[in-house]
Amino acid sequence: MSKEYGADQIQILEGLEAVRKRPGMYIGSTSVRGLHHLVYEIVDNAVDEALAGYCTEIDVSINPDNSITVVDNGRGVPVELNEKKGISTVEVVYTILHAGGKFGGGAYKVSGGLHGVGASVVNALSKKMEVKVEQNGHIHRQCYEKGKPVTPLEIIGDSDRTGTTVTFLPDDTIFEETVFDFDTLKSRLREMAFLTKGIKIILRDKREEEEKVREFYYEGGIREYVDYLNKSKAVLYPTVIYCEGTVNDVYVEVAMQHNDGYNEGCYSFVNNITTPEGGTHLAGFKNALTKTFNDYARAQKYLKENEQNLTGEDIREGLTAIISVKLGEPQFEGQTKQKLGNSEARGAVDSIVSEQLTYFLEQNPAVAKMICEKAVLAQRARDAARKARDLTRRKNALDGMSLPGKLADCSDRDPKNCEIYLVEGDSAGGSAKTARSRATQAILPLRGKILNVEKARLDRILSSQEIRAMITAFGTGISEDFDISKLRYHKIIIMTDADVDGAHIDTLLLTFLYRFMPELIKQGYVYLATPPLYKIEKNKKVWYAYSDEELNSILTEIGRDQNNKIQRYKGLGEMDPEQLWETTMDPEKRILKKVCMNDDAMSELDLTFTVLMGDNVEPRREFIEKNAKFVKDLDKYC
C-alpha cells in the first residue's frame, strides 16, 4: 500500500498527536484508572456487536508482558475499502479520532466508553497494537505503533470463523502505571456481563505460571445482578421484580428487590456506563416507584386517609435496584458528565415502571404487602430521626461548638495541620493522649465496637454516643448537611489493635464514614494507623516489625539468637505511651495507610490502601502492603 500524505492522512496524524499530547482529555487520566479504561474502551466495541445481535462471547487476556488481548466472535470489523477515506474500514476505526460514529452505513449505534471515544484513542496511547479480523474465510491483520500503521492490512491465513482480535501494549511513557489489576478488570467485566444478558465474558490472567480464569455469563442479566447484590442480605421476598420495554427508542430494563436492611442501593446505567449522579432515567424510576406504591397503599388501606404519603425514601429503604437504559445519543450533564440529561429517558422509564409495577403488585399481593408495611415503618422511623436530628442541630447552634467530653483536642486551629486519632478503647486512648503531640494531634477514644450503621435506622444511629462524638468532633455534619469546608482535621486516623477485633472496628468505622460522609474518603482525609506486630530486643537495642516478613528479615539481619527477646503485641494497650508515639503516631516514623475508593464498577465498592511512610522510616522497613485490598464490598462484612 502506498502512503501518500493527503489531507486525510495529515488530519489523522494530527488527531493522534492530540490524543498523545492530552491523554487525560480522552481517557480521563493517565493513572491506573485511565490505564484500565483502555480495556473497557475496546471491550465496549465488542459489547456493541453483541447488542447488535452478532456476538456471544468476549475473551479478555492479560498477557505476561502486561499487554491486553480482546477476542470476540462477532462479524469482524469490515476490511473493505472505505470509499471516502481511501483506506480500509479497519484502518479508519483504529486511526481516525471519533470514528465511533456511523460509517459505511454501519451499526455503531450504541457507542459506549466513558468518554465516548474508541479504538483509535487506545491505539494512539499504545506502544504497539495489532488487530486481526477473521472474515470471509481469511485472517486479516494490521499492526500499529503509537497509533500509526506500520504494516498494511494484509491476509495472513485462513479461518472458518468470524471475529475481531485486538492486542495492545499501553505506552509506558504516557501512563504512570502499566500493570493491570485483575480484580479491577474482574469487577467491571462482571458488571458489563450483568448488563448485557446472555453474553459470556471471560477474563484470563496469563502473567502467572498457572493461568487464572473467571467467566461471567448471566442469562437473567440485571435480575441476576440484583440477586448478586442482595446475596449477603436477608431478602424481604424471593422474587426479583423486573420491568422491560422500549418507548420512544429508549430501551428500558429495571430489576429490583428489597432486603430487610435500611440502605438504598439504586444503581443506574446508560448504555452500560454507570451514572453515579443519576439523571432523567433515575428520576423517572423514582417518580414511578413513589407514585405506584402510594396509589397501591392507599387503595389497599395500608395508608389511612389521615396519614401522609410515603416518601420515595421510605419506599426505597432496603431496596436494591438496577435501572438500565439504552438509547441512541445520550447527553451527559453535570460537572463530571455523569448525569443523564435526555428527557425522553425520564418518560420512558416512568411509563414502563408505572405500568408493569402496578400489574406486578396486583398479581403479587403478599409481596406488595411486605413492601408497604416496611415503608410505613420507615416513615415512622424517619419522623423520629428528624426529631433527633433537629435536636442535635439546635444544640450545636446554641453553644456553638460543644465538643464531646472525651475528645482531647489539639491546640492548632488550622485544619490543614490537624489530625484526629480515633482510638479503640479507653486505655489505649489514655496512652495516646499522653503520647500525642498536643498542638496538632487530637485524640478521641471510642468504647468497644461502634454501632453497625448497616443494621440500624437513622434514629438509633444518631442516638449513639460514639457516633455523635465523631460527628461533632469532625465538624462537618452528615448526609445532606455535610459541609467539607467545616472539617476540623485534615487527617482522620483510625487506630485499632492489630487483631481481628481491631479489623472489625476498622470496618465498622469505615462503613459509618462511607455511608454518612463519603466525601471524606473520596477526598483522601481518612487513614488507618499501623501499629507494630512485634518488638525485638537484643543487647538493649530495640526493633519493631510491622509484618511477619519484616520480623523475619530483622531476625536474619541481627542473627537468630537465644538472647533475642521477641514480644508479640496483642493490642495498643501493651505499649507504653512512648512506644506508641515512636511506632505509630510520630509523623516522622509512622506508617499510615490512606483509604482510597474506587467506584469504577458502581455497585462494587472497592476500598484500597496507599501506604504512606513517615519521613524518617529506615529504608530497611520497606514493607510493601502497597495497594493492599481491604474491603471488596463493605456490606459483606457487616
Q: Which is nearer to ligand TSJ, 170 or 261 (CB)?
A: 170
Tell me which of 497, 582, 604, 606 is the catalytic residue: 497
Under 8 Å CB-to-CB from 560, ≥6 apart: which residues? none
Answer for the pair 468, 404: CB distance below 8 angstroms, yes or no: yes
Residue-by-residue DSSP string for 448-473: SSPP-GGGS-HHHHHT-HHHHHHHHH
Answer for the pair 434, 408: CB distance below 8 angstroms, yes or no: no
Phi and psi at residue 258, to the nearest 5°: -90, 145
Q: Which is nearer to ligand TSJ, 93 or 554 (CB)?
A: 93
Tell me which of 145, 244, 295, 501 is the catalytic residue: 501
Cell of 443: 485524640
**CA-wise closest residue to 329 among 370, 270, 283:** 270
- 42 binding ligand TSJ? (CB under 6 A): yes
Tell me which of 424, 454, 466, 606 is the catalytic residue: 424
Q: Find the shortest distance in angstroms from Cβ 433 to ligand TSJ.
A: 59
Cell of 250: 429508549
Answer for the pair 371, 258: CB distance below 8 angstroms, yes or no: yes
Q: Find the shortest distance in angstroms from Cβ 107 to ligand TSJ.
A: 5
Q: Find the shortest distance in angstroms from Cβ 162 to ligand TSJ.
A: 9
Answer for the pair 240, 256: CB distance below 8 angstroms, yes or no: yes
**CA-wise closest residue to 275 among 328, 334, 223, 199:** 334
Q: Which is nearer to ligand TSJ, 108 or 217 (CB)?
A: 108
Residue 584 DSSP symbol? I
Cα distance between residue 139 and residue 194, in whole Å: 31
Cell of 86: 481511501
User: Which residues from 343-362 bind ligand TSJ, rule CB under 6 A?
Assistant: none
Residue-by-residue DSSP string for 358-388: HHHHHH-HHHHHHHHHHHHHHHHHHHHHHHH
Q: Find the shortest distance in angstroms from Cβ 70 to ligand TSJ.
A: 4
Q: Is 426 known to be catalytic?
A: no
Q: Which is nearer to ligand TSJ, 107 or 613 (CB)?
A: 107
How many residues in the shown chain lie near ligand TSJ by CB under 6 A? Answer: 18
- 635 binding ligand TSJ? (CB under 6 A): no
Exactly one of 139, 166, 174, 595 binds ligand TSJ (CB under 6 A); that residue is 166
Q: Which is nearer to ligand TSJ, 126 or 472 (CB)?
A: 126
What are the beta bridge partners of residue 446? 424
- 318 binding ligand TSJ? (CB under 6 A): no
Torsion of CA 580, 582, 583, 585, to 10 degrees: 70
Q: Which is nearer to ligand TSJ, 6 or 328 (CB)?
A: 328
Residue-by-residue DSSP string for 106-129: ----S--STTS--HHHHHHTEEEE
Q: Which is nearer to ligand TSJ, 93 or 114 (CB)?
A: 93
Answer for the pair 512, 523: CB distance below 8 angstroms, yes or no: no
Q: Find the shortest distance in angstroms from Cβ 54 to ligand TSJ.
A: 7
Stretch that binds ligand TSJ, among 44-52, 229-237, 252-260, 302-310 (CB under 6 A): 44-52
Under 8 Å CB-to-CB from 408, ≥6 apart: which residues? 433, 436, 442, 443, 444
- 492 binding ligand TSJ? (CB under 6 A): no
Answer for the pair 139, 71: CB distance below 8 angstroms, yes or no: no
User: Which residues from 86-145 bind ligand TSJ, rule CB under 6 A?
Assistant: 93, 106-108, 118-119
Stretch that binds ligand TSJ, among 42-50, 253-261, 330-338, 357-365 (CB under 6 A): 42-50
Q: Find the shortest distance in angstroms from Cβ 100 to ligand TSJ.
A: 8
Q: Find the shortest distance in angstroms from Cβ 327 to ligand TSJ.
A: 18
- 164 binding ligand TSJ? (CB under 6 A): yes
Q: Is 424 known to be catalytic?
A: yes
Q: Is 160 known to be catalytic?
A: no
Answer for the pair 310, 293: CB distance below 8 angstroms, yes or no: yes
User: SS3 helix, strand, coil % of the chain, rounded to 5?
Assistant: 40, 25, 40
User: Which residues from 52-81 bind ligand TSJ, rule CB under 6 A?
Assistant: 70, 72, 74-75, 77-78
Three-class SS state of 613: strand
- 39 binding ligand TSJ? (CB under 6 A): no
Q: Find the shortest distance in angstroms from Cβ 155 to ligand TSJ.
A: 18
Q: Is 171 known to be catalytic?
A: no
Tell me which of 14, 208, 499, 578 is the catalytic residue: 499
- 47 binding ligand TSJ? (CB under 6 A): no
Q: Which residues bind ligand TSJ (CB under 6 A)?
A: 42, 45-46, 49, 70, 72, 74-75, 77-78, 93, 106-108, 118-119, 164, 166
- The residues assigned a catalytic role are 424, 497, 499, 501
